[in-house]
Structure 1
Amino acid sequence: MSLEKFVTVNTQHGPVKGDRRTTILGMDYINFQGIPYMKAPVGKLRFRAPVEPEKWTETFDATQDCPSFPNYDSNLKKTTGIEDGGRINVFTKEIRTSNLYPVLVYIHGGGYQVGSSSPNFLYNPCYFLQKEIIFVSFNYRVGALGFLSLDDPSVDVPGNAGLKDQRMALKWIKENIKNFGGDPDNITLFGTSAGGASVHYHLISEKSKGLFHRAIAMSGTSLNMNWAHHPRRNYAERIAKLCGYEGDGSDKSVLEFLENADFEKIMEKAESILTNEEKYEEQMIVTVSPVVEPYITEHTFIDKSPILMAREAWSKDIDVIFGGTSNEGLLMAFFPDNNKERIEGLKNSSNFAPLLDLNLDKNDPKAQKFRKILKELYFGEIEPTVSNMLPYYYYQGDLQFWHGIQRSVLSRIKTGGKGKTFTYYFDIITEMNTFKKNFKLDHYPGAEHAACSTYVFKNSLGIIPLIDSIEFKNIIKVVGIISNFAIYGHTGVDEWEENKSLELPLRCLHLTKDAMQMIDLPETARLKVWDEIYREAGAVLY
């Protein structure tokens, strides 16, 4: 008996129509793409917390590719996407009314500046659809449209609209997924890079309490302070002036201008607001991103430093996996135009020290001392140079990723909850390392930043591996770990030890193309130096 091509499901806001499809592996599934979970954030809603969409009565067509929120493409020098991008995707094998599927929810990365959940680009879930799960993904506002923050409480733009979008999407999933055959009491949240940091924010923000039941933060946490958590500065006025603003500088005046400005121009100009000091001395690698909100509202998502939030995390009793790749710092090779200036800065100032996180001025004698310690740690007696990039990539990997990941693991352990905390070390290198291949980085050791995502999603940039290839075997391995965690509450890897002690080194599951085994975190010796610097500076580690 043939099945109807289209399937209609009711949601809280109205009926949606999906269609039946088949994955590249021959698995039949039902596809729902681009379901609105929020009202279009235009006009007075442009920078504010999301609002639920109006209800509809006509069946919504969810068979088309999910449109993205505005993204500025630095290569094409143009902005793509639409402001009505608050959409969600659901992929399921069948619509069950009993024996509900576990739900796996993915948050895309992109440094809080770019990205979308489109399965036609980076995040096709065909490998996950081999498993007994429902897969869900969604868009959230990025860049200036998602993270603009203003001081004046009367304008009601405290920041973090993009994270609040995510929270609304999670609420939608909790309230609607049963209609698609998913179990609202068995939801696992995972994400990569900014998606991983977002997962961690949901773990520590009270606003997300109870919306999911397990989590995996991959290559990013809220304690990656140079990009996942920003100081609050006059970014809104800077953007407005680049767009032609000539007002009095008040928050009300700036906001009124930006609410009426062309969103494409806002996204384009936001790319160039960082000063040389911010980029090359403070080591900031993105523009507007999550901040501590300057006043409390009913939507407040980040009310104090993530370090303090983590100590009080609602999620201390649920199981969490943290991890990263063996050469996270290769991310910097994705943006070659900035590296020459960054390396020159390392030669001449206190740029090595994480000034923002240590709350130090660049001229502070401690900053100068820490610069010397870190320069010697990574470069020895050799001056930083573009002809010797590997030490620079290791430095950036520790600064931007691994130190924050380790601190996040230790913070979880220190809370003393019942939840288990696991750590992995991704070191798989095959033809599936899409970013490493496309940026011609094969001569560098290790797996690049976000490499793990290319082993769990079919993407338009990489190869489609043969079933009997080493690449496909590793896809099965990584997808299996994540799926087992979502379905059964364990990874299926018996030898994977949880981290229980504040004593270093962390114990990690080392994933290589040929094996899985427990090891001490290889970055430990370097990260101990960072810890000593934090302690001497009087900065809080976790």
Structure 2
Amino acid sequence: MSLEKFVTVNTQHGPVKGDRRTTILGMDYINFQGIPYMKAPVGKLRFRAPVEPEKWTETFDATQDCPPFPIYDMMVQKIVGIEDGGRINVFTKELRSTNFYPVLVYIHGGGFQTGTSSPSLFNCPDYLLQKELVIVSFNYRVGALGFLSLDDPSVDVPGNAGLKDQRMALKWIKENIKNFGGDPDNITLFGTSAGGASVHYHLISEKSKGLFHRAIAMSGTSLNMNWAHHPRRNYAERIARLCGYEGDGSDKSILEFLENADFEKIVEASENILTDEEKFQEHVVFANGPVVEPYITDHTFIHKSPILMAREAWSKDIDVIFGGTSNEGLLMKSLPNEDSKRVQYLQDFKNFSPFVDLNLDKNDPKAKEIGNTLKELFYGATTPTDSYMLPYYYYQGDLQFWHGIQRAVLSRIKAGGKGKTFTYYFNIVTEMNIFKKFFKNENFPGAEHGACATYLFKNNFTTFSSFESIEFKNIMKVVGIISNFAIYGHTGVDEWEENKSLELPLRCLHLTKDGMQMIDLPETARLKVWDKIYREAGAVLY
């Protein structure tokens, strides 16, 4: 008996129409794309916490892809997207009314500056749909539109609107997913890069308590300073000035101007506000991102340092996986190529020092001492040059990713609780490593930042040659680990040890193209140096 092509499901806000499709692996599923979960944040809603959408009575067509929120897309090198981008995608095998499927919810990456949940290019769930799961993804505001933060309480723009969008999407999933065949009491949250950092924020923010039941933070945590947790800066005024603002600099006048500015101009300005000192001395990767909100509201998401929030995390009794890739710092080569400027700044070794995170003045003699220590750790007696950048990428991998990941793991262990904490080390390199190809990083060793996602989601740039290929075998390996965790609450890898002790090294499941085994985290010796630097500077590690 043939099935109807179109399927209608009721949600809290109104009926939605999906359609039946087949994955490239021959699995039938029902596709719903672009369901509104929030009201378009335009006018006075721009920059503010999200509002639920109006209800509708006519069936909403959820068979078409939805553009992202406004972003600068590095792949096509232009601004794309719409302000009414608060949409959610649901992919389900069938609309069960009993024996509901476990739910796997993905938060896309992009440094809190770019990215999309769209399955048309990167996030197609064909591989994951081999398993008995409902897959969900969604857009959230990024860049200035998602993370503008103003100090004046009267304007009610404390920041983190993008994280609040995510929280509203999670609430929508919890309340509606049963109608799509999903189990609202078995939801696993996972994400890559900024998505991984977002997962960690939801783990430590009381606002997300109870909205999911397990979590996987991939290549990102809230303790990854310089991009996942920003110090407060005058980004809002800088953006406004670049857009033509000539006012007195008050928060009210800046907000009024930006509420009426063209969103493309805001996105373009946001790409150009960092100074060379911020980029190359302070190692700020992107402008705009999560901040500690300057005052308390009924929608406050981050009320104090993530380090302090993590100590009191509601999630200490749920199981979590943290992990990263073997060459996270290659991300820096993927950004606009300014290696010559980086090298120029690194000739002054104090610029190796994470003095912003350590609350040190860059001219403090201690900053120079720390910088010398880190320069010797990565470069030894040699000097950085633009033809010898590999040590710099390892340095950035520690600074921007692995040190924060290790601290997040230790933070959970120190907090106690019944939840298990697992760690992986992703070192798979095959033809599926799209970002190595796209950014011409093939000559550098290791797996690049974000590589793990290309083994979970089908994309339009890579594929496997056959079911016997090394690419397909590794797709199924990674999909198996993630799906087992979501479906059964365990990884399916018997030898995968959880981390229970504050003693280093962390134990990691090492994933290579030829297999997997438990190892000590390879970065441990370097990270102990970072720890020593932080302790001697009086900084809190976790």
Q: CA deviation at 1:145?
A: 0.2
Q: CA deviation at 1:368?
A: 0.5
Q: CA deviation at 1:310?
A: 0.3
The equivalent of 2:55 in structure 1 is: 55
2:13 is equivalent to residue 13 of structure 1: yes
Paired with 2:160 and 2:512, the residues of 1 have a C-alpha distance of 37
What is the DSSP-based 3-state SS (H/G/I as helix, E as strand, rest coil) of the residue aligned with 1:16? strand
2:121 is equivalent to residue 121 of structure 1: yes
The equivalent of 1:509 in structure 2 is: 509
**TM-score between the two structures when normalised by the length of structure 2:** 0.99
Cα deviations across residues 206-249 of structure 1 (Å, max 9, x unaligned)?
00000000000000000001100001111101000000000011
Paired with 2:32 and 2:109, the residues of 1 have a C-alpha distance of 21
Paired with 1:319 and 1:105, the residues of 2 have a C-alpha distance of 15
Contact 2:464 2:471 in 1 (8 A): no
Contact 2:349 2:375 in 1 (8 A): no
The one-letter code matched in structure 1 to 2:522 is P
The equivalent of 2:400 in structure 1 is: 400
The equivalent of 1:164 in structure 2 is: 164
Count of aligned pairs between the two proteins = 542
Matching of residues 135-284 of structure 1 within 5 Å = 135-284=135-284
- After superposition, the Cα gap between the structure-2 partners of 1:275 and 1:373, relative to the gap in structure 1 and judged at 3 Å, is same
Contact 1:150 1:157 in 2 (8 A): yes
**TM-score between the two structures when normalised by the length of structure 1:** 0.99
Paired with 1:283 and 1:411, the residues of 2 have a C-alpha distance of 24
Contact 2:69 2:82 in 1 (8 A): yes
The equivalent of 1:319 in structure 2 is: 319
What is the DSSP-based 3-state SS (H/G/I as helix, E as strand, rest coil) of the residue aligned with 2:29? strand
Paired with 1:443 and 1:11, the residues of 2 have a C-alpha distance of 49
Q: CA deviation at 1:347?
A: 1.1
- After superposition, the Cα gap between the structure-2 partners of 1:99 and 1:74, relative to the gap in structure 1 and judged at 3 Å, is closer
The equivalent of 2:498 in structure 1 is: 498
What is the DSSP-based 3-state SS (H/G/I as helix, E as strand, rest coil) of the residue aligned with 1:476? helix
Cα deviations across residues 266-292 of structure 1 (Å, max 9, x unaligned)?
000111111121111100010110000
Answer with 331-340 or 37-46: which moved more: 331-340
- After superposition, the Cα gap between the structure-2 partners of 1:395 and 1:325, relative to the gap in structure 1 and judged at 3 Å, is same
Q: CA deviation at 1:461?
A: 2.1
The equivalent of 2:348 in structure 1 is: 348
Cα deviations across residues 31-62 of structure 1 (Å, max 9, x unaligned)?
00000000000000000000000000000000
Cα deviations across residues 402-435 of structure 1 (Å, max 9, x unaligned)?
0000000000000011000000000011111111
The equivalent of 1:91 in structure 2 is: 91
Q: CA deviation at 1:78?
A: 3.1
What is the DSSP-based 3-state SS (H/G/I as helix, E as strand, rest coil) of the residue aligned with 1:368? helix
Paired with 2:531 and 2:113, the residues of 1 have a C-alpha distance of 29
What is the DSSP-based 3-state SS (H/G/I as helix, E as strand, rest coil) of the residue aligned with 1:357? coil
Paired with 1:466 and 1:243, the residues of 2 have a C-alpha distance of 51
Contact 2:330 2:448 in 1 (8 A): yes
Answer with 388-397 or 464-473: which moved more: 464-473
The equivalent of 1:375 in structure 2 is: 375
Contact 2:349 2:372 in 1 (8 A): no
Q: CA deviation at 1:466?
A: 1.6
The one-letter code matched in structure 1 to 2:64 is Q
Paired with 2:437 and 2:275, the residues of 1 have a C-alpha distance of 32
Paired with 2:88 and 2:261, the residues of 1 have a C-alpha distance of 27
Contact 1:508 1:521 in 2 (8 A): yes
Contact 1:281 1:349 in 2 (8 A): no
| Structure 2 unaligned spans of 5+ | none
The equivalent of 1:429 in structure 2 is: 429
The equivalent of 1:303 in structure 2 is: 303
The one-letter code matched in structure 2 to 1:190 is F
Q: CA deviation at 1:336?
A: 4.4
Contact 1:113 1:143 in 2 (8 A): yes
The equivalent of 1:34 in structure 2 is: 34
Q: CA deviation at 1:397?
A: 0.4
The equivalent of 1:73 in structure 2 is: 73
What is the DSSP-based 3-state SS (H/G/I as helix, E as strand, rest coil) of the residue aligned with 2:8? strand
The one-letter code matched in structure 2 to 1:15 is P
The equivalent of 1:358 in structure 2 is: 358
2:485 is equivalent to residue 485 of structure 1: yes
2:101 is equivalent to residue 101 of structure 1: yes
Contact 2:158 2:293 in 1 (8 A): yes
Paired with 2:436 and 2:261, the residues of 1 have a C-alpha distance of 38
Paired with 2:60 and 2:371, the residues of 1 have a C-alpha distance of 57
Q: CA deviation at 1:363?
A: 0.6
Contact 1:174 1:211 in 2 (8 A): yes
Answer with 455-464 or 51-60: which moved more: 455-464
- Identical pairs, percent: 82
Q: CA deviation at 1:340?
A: 2.1
Contact 1:458 1:464 in 2 (8 A): no
- After superposition, the Cα gap between the structure-2 partners of 1:277 and 1:83, relative to the gap in structure 1 and judged at 3 Å, is same
Paired with 2:8 and 2:375, the residues of 1 have a C-alpha distance of 60
Contact 1:66 1:89 in 2 (8 A): no
Answer with 329-338 or 483-492: which moved more: 329-338
Paired with 2:343 and 2:397, the residues of 1 have a C-alpha distance of 15
What is the DSSP-based 3-state SS (H/G/I as helix, E as strand, rest coil) of the residue aligned with 2:487? helix
Q: CA deviation at 1:468?
A: 1.0
Cα deviations across residues 110-152 of structure 1 (Å, max 9, x unaligned)?
0000001000111000011110000000000010100000000
The equivalent of 1:44 in structure 2 is: 44
The one-letter code matched in structure 2 to 1:9 is V
Answer with 63-72 or 133-142: which moved more: 63-72
Contact 1:33 1:65 in 2 (8 A): yes
Q: CA deviation at 1:378?
A: 0.1
The one-letter code matched in structure 2 to 1:148 is L
The one-letter code matched in structure 1 to 2:223 is L
Cα deviations across residues 323-364 of structure 1 (Å, max 9, x unaligned)?
000010111110242222122211125211111210111111
The one-letter code matched in structure 2 to 1:130 is Q
Paired with 1:394 and 1:213, the residues of 2 have a C-alpha distance of 34
Q: CA deviation at 1:504?
A: 0.2
Paired with 2:475 and 2:20, the residues of 1 have a C-alpha distance of 24
Cα deviations across residues 365-423 of structure 1 (Å, max 9, x unaligned)?
11000000000000011111111111011001000000000000000000011000000
Contact 1:78 1:268 in 2 (8 A): no
The one-letter code matched in structure 1 to 2:460 is S
